[in-house]
Amino acid sequence: MSFVPEPESAAASIGAPGAAPVPAPAARTSVATDLALVATGAAFVAVCALGSITVPNMAVPITLQTFGVMLVGAVLGARRGALAVLLYLAVGLAGLPVFAQGTGGLGVLGKPSLGYLLAFPIAAALAGFLVHRTHGLRPGVRPFAVFGSLMAASLLVIHPLGISVMGARLGMSAGEAVAAGAVFLPGDLIKNALAAVVATAVFRAFPDLARRG
């Protein structure tokens, strides 16, 4: 009598030594991790926006928002960084007081600072993209490369869009708008330098973040 082996059950196949890993749980874990990181990044930007300084004759307050945006983009990468900032904007536009000076709601769409808010997710994506390219550089060089990436995102995205909208809303000439926006450059240098130092330290502690941007 010939012996025909019975097919293995699904449970036995999954638990058998050497069996191929089941992809579904890993995918769910990855999505859950990404969602947690995006939510955490959005919360971090909101916390950074709580501290703001209103300077006389300045249409836009000085805040740590840009520090939060740049650091989130650098650490989480282009995709997750942009999503985190978009979530932050969505929560603020929905009415929660997470913007500078404890404001929120659709009223911010009429403020001179609108351009800076619109630039934040784009800048976070660009910062994440550029910082990701610094992976593999020598430890002594990487902080400077990260700083350069963050400054590039600030100068190419945040300042042009923010200055353009601010100037248009306040009826400034191009020269007046550029001069008004240039006041924020020294602060951005300091904030981006600090963000580069923090991001580099995070990458040393969690190297997988640098590879998964």
What rounded mean pLDDT belongs to the chain? Answer: 85
Strands (DSSP E) found in 16-111? 52-53, 62-63
- Is the pLDDT at 56 greater than 70, yes or no? no
Do residues 116 and 161 touch, judged by C-beta distance below 8 A? yes
- Is the pLDDT at 1 greater than 90, yes or no? no
- Is the pLDDT at 194 greater than 60, yes or no? yes
Q: What is the pTM of this model?
A: 0.81
pLDDT digits (tens, 9 = 90+) for 127-171: 999 999 998 888 889 999 999 999 999 999 999 999 999 999 999
- Distances from the Cα of 67 to the Cα of 4, 44, 138, 158, angstroms: 68, 10, 24, 12
Which amino acid is it at 173? S
- Is the pLDDT at 28 greater than 50, yes or no? no
- Is the pLDDT at 105 greater than 50, yes or no? yes
What's the confidence (pLDDT) of residue 9?
A: 46
Enumerate domains of the chain plus CATH numbers. Answer: 19-211 (1.10.1760.20)
> What is the mean predicted confidence (pLDDT) over 2-12?
47
What's the confidence (pLDDT) of residue 211?
A: 62
Cα-Cα end-to-end distance for the chain: 60
What's the confidence (pLDDT) of residue 50?
A: 85
CA-CA distance, 76 to 212, in Å (whole number)?
8
What's the confidence (pLDDT) of residue 68?
A: 96
